[in-house]
């Protein structure tokens, strides 16, 4: 039986908090996603870990027996990863990302650090983890689209880019020929959504704050940019995206159009607030913070084809 270390961390957090809501906040995941993961672990083990009461949860005898070993295994793995990193070059960093960064943001910085003998590895993490690997300790820093759960508390963010939001449409869509759109014209469209575990990031890319209380129509969910563009190109929905990503992910079957009436999106470098290592501080300092927000998209903005 193969059980992921992540599942053990999730189990231990719920057992310690005795609350799916508090544990989800601590783990930077959504409560429904955490509940689903624990249910899957219980099915895999063949016994319940928690007793679900009307207003609380409690460990079952099986859960109480498993908890010490789960804690030990999760802590042991985290320590093993730290030891493995220190066994390499004196300065090494693992950097997470969820979409291509582009925009000439990281190329010069990464080249500079590698020339100094640093080992910098890039890891692509899907949107199931909105922290791009930071929450699980898999990376030291990450390029993330805000909002990210925990920023301002356990995580620190440095905004690198602010861009307008556009919409990706199937090439044959009735609005695909427009130079720009008002978000109100998209309210009834089915959207390709990030997974629920992405939490506030999912809501941001659905434009929930600008819908005036109207629920978005979700056509399907996708966990990576490739899945999003495949779904849009197949006519299964539309999707909001950053202006720069419209150019980074060109697809012949997809047309990207500027959208008015939406707050800009922000790409940030994020790291753990308690991480005082020199490597992390130097890496963060190497990036320039974004200038003040630009004006919103105007009709007539050039559209990539």
In the predicted structure, residue 35 carries a pLDDT above the cut 80:
yes
Tens-digit pLDDT profile for residues 63-101: 999 999 999 998 888 777 666 656 655 567 889 998 888
pLDDT band at 303 (very low <50, low <70, confident <90, very high): very low
**Helix boundaries (H) for the chain:** 5-17, 20-27, 31-45, 61-86, 107-115, 200-205, 225-233, 243-248, 278-285
Tens-digit pLDDT profile for residues 232-269: 999 999 999 999 998 888 899 999 999 999 999 999 99
Q: 194 versus 151: which is more confidently predicted?
A: 194
Task: Please report the pLDDT score of residue 88 as a whole number.
Answer: 58
Rounded CA-CA distance 165/184 in Å is: 14
Q: Span 191-220, mean pLDDT?
A: 93
Rounded CA-CA distance 29/302 in Å is: 37
User: Which two structure tokens, joined as six digits, stand for 133?
Assistant: 């690997």
Tens-digit pLDDT profile for residues 120-161: 888 999 888 889 998 888 899 999 999 998 888 889 999 999
Q: Span 45-71, mean pLDDT?
A: 92
Task: Please report the pLDDT score of residue 91 as a whole number.
Answer: 65
3-state secondary structure of 76: helix
Q: Cβ atoms within 10 A of the Cβ of 60, count?
A: 15
User: Which two structure tokens, joined as six digits, stand for 12?
Assistant: 């231990």
Task: Please report the pLDDT score of residue 232 as a whole number.
Answer: 96
Nearest to residue 248, comparing CAs of 101, 50, 133? 101
Q: How many helices (H) and strands (E) does the chain have?
A: 9, 13
Q: Cβ atoms within 10 A of the Cβ of 230, count?
A: 16
Task: Please report the pLDDT score of residue 77 as a whole number.
Answer: 82
In the predicted structure, residue 115 carries a pLDDT above the cut 70:
yes
In the predicted structure, residue 295 carries a pLDDT above the cut 80:
no
Task: Please report the pLDDT score of residue 293 as a whole number.
Answer: 61
Rounded CA-CA distance 108/122 in Å is: 14
Per-position DSSP letters for 123-166, written without gaps between them: EE--TTSTTTTTTTTS-SEEEEESP-TTBTTTEEEEEEEEE-EE
Residue 144 region by backbone torsions, left for phi larger than 0, else alpha for psi between -120 and 50, else beta: beta
pTM of the model: 0.71
Q: What b/e readout covers 247-266, taking b as 16+ CB neighbours within 10 angstroms?
A: eebeeeebbbbbbbebebbb
Nearest to residue 150, comparing CAs of 17, 28, 20, 14? 28
pLDDT over 70, % of the chain: 91
């Amino acid at each position: 039986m193969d059980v992921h270390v992540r599942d053990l961390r999730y189990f231990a957090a719920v057992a310690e908090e005795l609350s799916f809501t508090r544990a989800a906040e601590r783990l930077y995941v959504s409560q429904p996603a955490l509940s689903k993961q624990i249910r899957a672990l219980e099915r895999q083990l063949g016994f319940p870990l928690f007793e679900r009461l009307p207003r609380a949860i409690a460990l079952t005898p099986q859960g109480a027996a498993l908890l010490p070993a789960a804690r030990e295994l999760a802590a042991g793995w985290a320590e093993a990863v730290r030891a493995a990193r220190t066994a390499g070059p004196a300065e090494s960093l693992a950097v997470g990302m969820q979409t291509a960064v582009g925009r000439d943001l990281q190329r010069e910085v990464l080249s500079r650090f590698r020339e100094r003998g640093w080992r910098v590895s890039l890891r692509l993490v899907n949107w199931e983890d909105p922290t791009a690997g930071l929450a699980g300790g898999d990376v030291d820093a990450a390029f993330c689209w805000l909002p990210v759960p925990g920023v301002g508390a356990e995580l620190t963010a440095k905004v690198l880019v602010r861009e307008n939001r556009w919409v990706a449409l199937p090439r044959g869509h009735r609005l695909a020929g427009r130079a720009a759109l008002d978000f109100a014209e998209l309210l009834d469209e089915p959207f390709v959504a990030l997974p629920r575990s992405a939490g506030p990031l999912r809501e941001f890319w659905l434009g929930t704050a600008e819908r005036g209380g109207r629920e978005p129509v979700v056509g399907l969910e996708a966990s990576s940019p490739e899945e999003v563009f495949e779904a849009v190109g197949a006519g299964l929905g539309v999707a909001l995206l950053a202006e720069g990503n419209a150019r980074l992910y060109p697809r012949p079957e997809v047309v990207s159009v500027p959208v008015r009436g939406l707050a800009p999106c922000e790409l940030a470098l994020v790291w753990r607030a308690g991480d005082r290592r020199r490597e992390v501080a130097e890496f963060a300092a190497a990036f320039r913070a974004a200038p003040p927000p630009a004006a919103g998209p105007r009709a007539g903005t050039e559209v990539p084809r």
